[in-house]
Amino acid sequence: MNYDDKNIFAKILRGEIPTKTVYEDEYALAFPDINPQAPVHILVIPKGRYVSAADFGATASPEEITGFYRAVSHVAKQLGVEDSGYRIICNIGPDSQQMVPHFHVHILGGHKMGHVLAPSD
Ligand code: AMP
C-alpha cells in the first residue's frame, strides 16, 4: 500500500488539523485519541511516512525505529502508567480495522483491562 499524504495523521503532522501535543521529538508525535477507549488513550505516530507497523518495521531506518519506540516508552512514563501497566496496540490492515493509514501506536491505560481480544461479530 502506498502512503497517502491526505490521511488525517499526515495533516496533524503538517499542522493542518489541531491537536493537543503530549510529547514531540524528532522521531515521534504523541497526542490524545479523539475517541478515547480508556482513561488514558494516547496515540504515538512516527514523523516519517509509514502506512503501518508492518511498513515501519520493514522499511524504517534503525535510528527511526529506536527513536520511535523510545518515544513510546517515554510517553507511557510521562502519562504515569509505567508502574500500573498499559497496553499498546497497533492495528495493521483491514482485519484489524486500521482506520488511519499512518502508523500509530495506541497507548491505553488508567484502568484494569480485559485479558482477551474478542473477535468482532
Ligand atoms: P486505528 O483504528 O488503529 O486506525 O485508530 C485510529 C484512531 O485515530 C481511532 O482511535 C480514532 O479515534 C483516532 N482519530 C481519528 N481522528 C483523530 C484526530 N483528529 N485526532 C485524534 N485521534 C483521531
Residue 73 domain flag: yes
Residue 2 domain flag: no
Q: Supply 105's cell numbers.
A: 501506536
Residue 60 in contact with residue 101, Cβ under 8 Å?
Answer: no
Distance 106 CA to ligand 1 centre (A): 9
106 a catalytic residue: no
Residue whose CA is at the smallest distance from ligand 1 atom 18:
34
Residue 117 domain flag: no
Query: Percent of the chain having pLDDT more than 90?
Result: 93
Q: List, in order, residues 6 or more apart from 30 with CB less than 8 Å away.
A: 21, 22, 23, 24, 42, 43, 44, 45, 71, 75, 107
CATH number at residue 48: 3.30.428.10
What dihedral angle (degrees, nearest 10) is formed by the CA atoms of 16, 22, 23, 24? 10
Q: Write the DSSP assignment of 59-73 as a string of letters.
A: HS-HHHHHHHHHHHH
Catalytic annotation, pick one of 41, 74, 102, 104: 104
This prediction has a pTM of 0.96
Residue 63 domain flag: yes
Residue 118 domain flag: no
Distance 86 CA to ligand 1 centre (A): 18
- pLDDT tens per residue, range 54-77: 999 999 999 999 999 999 999 999
Residue 76 domain flag: yes
Residue 3 domain flag: no
Count of domains observed in the chain: 1
Q: Which domain holds residue 29?
A: 8-109
- pLDDT tens per residue, range 23-36: 999 999 999 999 99
Residue 119 domain flag: no
